Structure 1
Amino acid sequence: MTKRSLKQRLEEGPVIAGEGYLFELERRGYLQAGSFVPEVALKNPEALKQTYRDYMLAGSDVVLAFTYNAHREKMRIIGKEELLEPLNRNAIRLAKEVAREHPEEEALVAGNISNTNIFDPENEDSKVQVREMFREMVGWCKEEGVDFVNGETFYYHEEALIALEEIRRVELPAVITLGLMGENILRDGYTVEDSCASLEENGALVVGMNCFRGPDTMQPYVEKIRRKVNGYVGALPIPYRTTEDNPTFFNLPDGGCSCTLPTETTFPTSLDPLYHNRYELAAWAEKAKNDGVNYIGLCCGSSPAMLRSVAEAAGVETVHSIYSPDMHKHFLFGEEESLNESNLAYRTKA
């Protein structure tokens, strides 16, 4: 069938967006925690393609080019600025290759720009530098033929606005999502709902939130955004059990840990015991859809199996729904008469 645009898909129902490559590729052994730079696009392209593929077949309508942290400032820090352009271009090209593999309808390909960690609202030079970084990355997105650009994880409204301006300058659709820190307000004083209203007025197709917060501490703010804006709203939480006392994954404690951690908190490499299970994430996705969220996904920490549960809860049958859990033939939980009854007795005792 003809490949529909992002806007067309949003008009017809929820769009599922799989993110979380950063943590997933670190788990798979292809990315260094700490620097968190996606050199995998050049060093292990087949590993990146397989990750793209796994999320797409689990339900993602979007193959997001893995260029998070692949901006000039981060590449400067690791001393590899010469890799900046080839890394960006190859991440997009690999995404396009995988998108064409979708057996039902070619997936959308999104370029990606994100928080720079150098933005300073009081420093005009930093604003110029940020704009230049976004401009070159968005330029490569345009030249490589992405369907839209995803600008994400902004904790300053003005930085998000600069990103949006650069995306709109090359006449590409924009998805802009904010990362809300523990202060519960963006660092330049905007509420997320006011920021999203402004971003929508300035031409963003989708506005919303991603990363930092799990479903429980993100959704109340997403609901405020939904009430404030008229267009499409996105929500992509992390799959960790954040709480009112610890609203982001930056400061989640693990009282059961029996060893000394390398960092002061569980972030970023000791979060494993703090996951939501897939059924909790599915319950959130169903609620989010019913609350009017249009662009639904998961961010750092997610797995394809988690995303599949989210997609199915939002009413989407995925390519890999054939592998969704079915306990009918399980030796402990099955219901077929041929199963060994002595095993079934251990359902709650094993």
Structure 2
Amino acid sequence: MPVKGFMERIKSDEVVLVAEGYLFEFERRGYLKAGSFVPEVVLDFPNRVRELHEEFVHAGSDVVQAFTYYGHREKMRLIGKEHLLEKLNINALKIAREVADETGTLMAGNICNTTLYQKDDPKLLEETKSIFKEQIEWAVEYGADLIIAETFLDYGEAEVALDCIKQYGKGIPSVINIAPSAIDTTCDGVPFDVACKRLEDRGADVVGLNCSRGPATMIPLMRKIREMCKGPICALPVPYRTTPEQPMMQSLVDPDTNLMAFPENLPAFQCSRYQVREFAQQCKEIGIEVVGLCCGNASHYMREVAEVYGRKPPASKYSTDMSLHYMYGSKPHFSKYYTQNYKTYYKSKTED
């Protein structure tokens, strides 16, 4: 059966669920270096990449995103492997396309902040455009259904990315996401809702925010974007417990060390499943059309998001059912001995 297209889903009022977070998950598993954050795992352990794609789809993602994030020319140059640039991108796209075809999902190409962009430097601006151009052209060649361009700190770089997708993407739908910093504007001074509206008016198919902020500090921004933008919008926060005082994951301070938690001690601030569920419910209430999670994401979180939207992905077969627990369960055949002893112990402790 033909797979329903990305914009076709959007126009028929479907919510598209997107699992991101490959970078942090592979670092956690020991296949990627924190610091450079280059997706060498695509070359070194391609089967691991395939497995994580499959795992995210199993948990409810509608999109298989090719792992080309930070796999661009400047990042590859940084680690002395620029000669492997094309191989990495093509391998990542092929793996993602194969998994998408096998699972009946969409495949997304991916471009991101170049770490080079400076609006007043013509040379760096041309290098930025060149980085986008080659990754977009590879994504087109290997059958991407959409291109997600993301984690832009400057509105200007997001605009350049959109223009390049329009020029080289051969009509592929675009999702353009800005990374919201600790202040309520981009680094070049544009409020996030205004930036998204400008990108929408410029021809982006979907606009929104990804990365940096957790659900608690991204949702207020998404409400403003919903009010400003008439077209589809996207929310892909990091699943960390950010606060108004520490609004982004890079702001979080580890209370045990008084040091920045990013990146090694971020697990201390991981959201609960209940908080992820609440985030998905808020997205549903706001009317956000593209929903998911970014750095720090894991399959159990995606299942929570999917189930809020009434989905029953294969992973739902293993959703929690505490009625089956030998001690806390409610089934008649479970041992009353353990349950009664636990309750007695708990009662005595609370009375103390």
TM-score band by shorter chain is over 0.9
Which residue is 1:200 aligned to? Answer: 200
Which residue is 1:129 aligned to? Answer: 127
Is 1:37–1:69's contact at 8 Å kept on the other side of the alignment?
Answer: yes
Is 2:19–2:56's contact at 8 Å kept on the other side of the alignment?
Answer: yes
Deviations 1:209-232 (A, max 9, x none): 010000010001011111111110
| The one of 92, 107, 110 aligned to 1:109 | 107
**1:281 & 1:216 partners in 2: Cα distance?**
10
| The one of 134, 144, 147 aligned to 2:145 | 147
Letter in 2 for 1:252: L
| The one of 271, 276, 279 aligned to 1:276 | 271
What TM-score, normalized to structure 2?
A: 0.94
**1:122 & 1:331 partners in 2: Cα distance?**
65
Is 2:182–2:251's contact at 8 Å kept on the other side of the alignment?
Answer: no
Shift of 1:333: 2.1
Q: SS state of the match for residue 17, structure 1?
A: strand
The 5-angstrom pairing of residues 36-75 of structure 1 reads: 36-75=37-76
Q: What is the root-mean-square deviation of aligned Cα atoms in Å?
A: 1.4
Which residue is 2:243 aligned to? Answer: 243
Structure 1, gaps ≥5 residues long: none
Which residue is 1:294 aligned to? Answer: 289
Shift of 1:203: 1.4
Q: SS state of the match for residue 70, structure 1?
A: coil
Which residue is 2:173 aligned to? Answer: 173
Shift of 1:25: 0.9
Is 2:97–2:142's contact at 8 Å kept on the other side of the alignment?
Answer: no
Correspondence 1:325 to 2:326: no
**2:309 & 2:199 partners in 1: Cα distance?**
26
**2:267 & 2:337 partners in 1: Cα distance?**
34
Which residue is 1:21 aligned to? Answer: 22
Which residue is 2:33 aligned to? Answer: 32
**1:101 & 1:327 partners in 2: Cα distance?**
33
Which residue is 1:211 aligned to? Answer: 211
Deviations 1:252-277 (A, max 9, x none): 1221x3xx59xx41100111111111
Deviations 1:118-141 (A, max 9, x none): 211222222111011100110101
Is 1:121–1:188's contact at 8 Å kept on the other side of the alignment?
Answer: no
Shift of 1:49: 0.4
Letter in 1 for 2:108: A
User: Rg larger in 1 or in 2?
Assistant: 2
Correspondence 1:162 to 2:157: no
Shift of 1:78: 0.5
Structure 2, gaps ≥5 residues long: none
Q: SS state of the match for residue 150, structure 1?
A: strand
